[in-house]
């Protein structure tokens, strides 16, 4: 059996961005607990992340930015001290821990296996600027470590926001395919459909801009007609999935209309590709009950474990306090189930990207 590893630590949730910040680290505890209570960690190795070293961070970030972050002082030129990226005591270690977690996941599956770093997925952290709740980019640093070992990486980002810093880092290379699915017109504003890479990287970046209220069926169409054929064609050694859960219909920061069902379908389709090495990270997600449900569903689907229909009592007690009233893991499907329901704007983008990236 392939190695299965989850990277998690109480240090991931014993942290506070402040009362009014949407990022609530408690969601990681909720996800971890739900996975455990549903048996998704049975036979799975659970390991602590480590704090990435200065040199590891320098493989992407600039030293002047790292020094400013380490000082933990207000430095607006580096994006530090904004409402999105407050300077919270301990932020350097906290951010470096997520990078170490992803590096551990990457190294553990170099020769096969599945690893999920629940604290990772910080796709907006730039070379020398904090942005979008992200300070250090574990995704870019993790992928760079894979490239150093000669691996070809397909990066799939299902977060509702565009992975701007990841796209920038690999825009001109054909060794990484960067695919992002995100809501159009919201932060960070990049990731237009015609951004497809440049130089050797042309045709190795693809962006789908989902319209407001895009539903499961739109995403299913995109996966069947674009994402899966692209992965098959690229034939990666490693699939790197950023599993942001903020596309869910109840997320307070976005306006997509995805239900838990599509996340199961995505995981099932990826599993069917029979890839030997898969790295998963967390990402966005601001309705914490749904983050826990979605990450559990994705992990179960990827490693081929069955899920109970009902959520465990331990989880229900918390989810009721969070305003979630359903006892089940599945939402009511949010789409009609007929293929004509896929929006034209989605079909057009899929056709365009098939021409530019697949033919
Ligand atoms: Zn997001």
Catalytic residue among 124, 161, 162, 182: 124
Distance 246 CA to ligand 1 centre (A): 6
Q: Which two tokens stand for residue 202?
A: 């042309």
Average pLDDT for 257-278 = 96
* Contact between 7 and 105 (Cβ < 8 Å): yes
pLDDT at 122 over 60: yes
| pLDDT tens, position by position, 143-156 | 999 999 999 999 99
pLDDT at 336 over 50: no
Average pLDDT for 211-219 = 93
Distance 359 CA to ligand 1 centre (A): 30
- Residues less than 5 Å from ion ligand 1, measured at CB: 159-161, 244, 246, 284
Distance 23 CA to ligand 1 centre (A): 10
pTM metric for this prediction: 0.97
The whole-number pLDDT of residue 334 equals 61
Whether the ω angle into residue 139 lies within 30 degrees of 0, i.e. cis, is: no
Average pLDDT over all residues of the chain: 95
Distance 283 CA to ligand 1 centre (A): 7
- The pairing of strands 4-7 and 205-210 is unpaired
Which residues make Cβ contacts (< 8 Å) with residue 17, sequence separation at least 6? Answer: 23, 24, 25, 86, 88, 133
Distance 285 CA to ligand 1 centre (A): 6
Average pLDDT for 10-15 = 96
Higher pLDDT, 326 or 90: 90
What confidence category does residue 238 fall into, taking pLDDT thresholds of 50, 70 and 90? very high
What confidence category does residue 335 fall into, taking pLDDT thresholds of 50, 70 and 90? low
What confidence category does residue 327 fall into, taking pLDDT thresholds of 50, 70 and 90? confident
Distance 290 CA to ligand 1 centre (A): 14
- The pairing of strands 277-281 and 238-242 is parallel
The CA distance from 214 to 162, in Å, is 15
CATH 3.40.800.20 fits 4-358, yes or no: yes
The CA distance from 188 to 185, in Å, is 8
Whether residue 124 lies in the annotated active site: yes
The whole-number pLDDT of residue 299 equals 98
Distance 1 CA to ligand 1 centre (A): 33
The whole-number pLDDT of residue 120 equals 98
What confidence category does residue 1 fall into, taking pLDDT thresholds of 50, 70 and 90? low
Average pLDDT for 273-296 = 97
| pLDDT tens, position by position, 183-198 | 999 999 999 999 999 9
Higher pLDDT, 317 or 286: 286
| pLDDT tens, position by position, 247-266 | 999 999 999 999 999 999 99
What confidence category does residue 173 fall into, taking pLDDT thresholds of 50, 70 and 90? very high
End-to-end C-alpha distance for the chain, whole angstroms: 36
The CA distance from 214 to 332, in Å, is 15
The whole-number pLDDT of residue 359 equals 85
Distance 163 CA to ligand 1 centre (A): 8
């Amino acid at each position: 059996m392939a190695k299965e590893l989850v990277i998690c630590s109480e240090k991931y949730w014993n942290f506070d961005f402040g009362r009014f910040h949407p990022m609530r680290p408690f969601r990681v505890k909720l996800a971890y607990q739900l996975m455990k209570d549903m048996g998704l960690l049975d036979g799975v190795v659970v390991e602590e992340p480590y704090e990435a070293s200065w040199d590891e961070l320098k493989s992407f970030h600039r030293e002047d930015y790292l020094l400013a972050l380490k000082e933990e002082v207000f430095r607006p030129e580096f994006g530090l001290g904004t409402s999105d990226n407050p300077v919270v005591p301990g932020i350097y270690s906290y951010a470096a821990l997520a990078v170490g977690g992803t590096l551990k996941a990457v190294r553990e599956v170099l020769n096969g296996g599945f690893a999920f770093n629940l604290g990772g997925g910080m796709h907006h952290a730039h070379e020398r600027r904090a942005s979008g709740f992200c300070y250090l980019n574990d995704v870019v640093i993790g992928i760079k470590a894979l490239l150093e070992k000669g691996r070809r990486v397909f990066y799939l980002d299902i977060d509702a926001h565009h992975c701007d810093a990841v796209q920038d880092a690999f825009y001109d290379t054909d060794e990484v395919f960067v695919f992002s699915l995100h809501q159009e017109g919201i932060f960070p504003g990049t990731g237009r459909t015609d951004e497809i890479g440049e130089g050797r990287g042309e045709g190795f970046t693809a962006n789908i801009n989902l319209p407001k209220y895009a539903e499961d069926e739109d995403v299913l169409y995109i996966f069947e007609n674009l994402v899966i054929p692209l992965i098959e064609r690229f034939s990666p050694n490693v699939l790197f999935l950023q599993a942001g859960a903020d596309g869910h219909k109840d997320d307070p920061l976005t306006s997509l209309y995805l239900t838990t069902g599509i996340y199961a379908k995505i995981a099932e389709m990826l599993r069917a590709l029979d890839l030997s090495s898969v790295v998963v990270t967390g990402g966005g997600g601001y309705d914490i009950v749904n983050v826990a449900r979605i990450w559990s569903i994705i992990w179960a689907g990827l490693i081929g474990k069955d899920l109970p229909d009902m959520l465990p009592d331990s989880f229900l007690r918390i989810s009721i306090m969070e305003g979630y009233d359903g006892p089940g893991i599945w939402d009511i499907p949010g789409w009609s189930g007929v293929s004509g329901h896929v929006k034209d704007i989605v079909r057009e983008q899929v056709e365009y990207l098939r021409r530019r990236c697949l033919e």
